[in-house]
Amino acid sequence: MIDKQLLDVLACPKCKANVKLEGEKLICQNPQCGLRYPIRDGIPVMLIDEAEKPQGK
């Protein structure tokens, strides 16, 4: 589980938008970006190369 304080300071490294926690992923809240960053062993992997693109993009 991601600490709320950590979640409050995390941002998408590509577009700098806020992210929200959904299951085991952090989802960029910018509709034009929408990258999905994995969480591995409780640690967010905020690397653009590791992110999943949203469906349909």
For residue 27, give both structure tokens. Answer: 């989802």
State residue 21 phi and psi, 5-degree precision.
-85, 125
Determine what percent of the chain is predicted with pLDDT higher than 70: 96
pLDDT digits (tens, 9 = 90+) for 19-46: 999 999 999 999 999 999 999 998 999 9
Strand order in the sheet with 36-40: 19-22, 25-28, 36-40, 43-44
Distance of alpha carbon 29 from alpha carbon 8, whole angstroms: 13
Architecture of the domain made up of 4-50: Single Sheet (2.20)
Distances (CA, A) of 43 to 2, 31, 48, 56, 57: 8, 24, 15, 27, 26
What pLDDT is attached to residue 36?
98
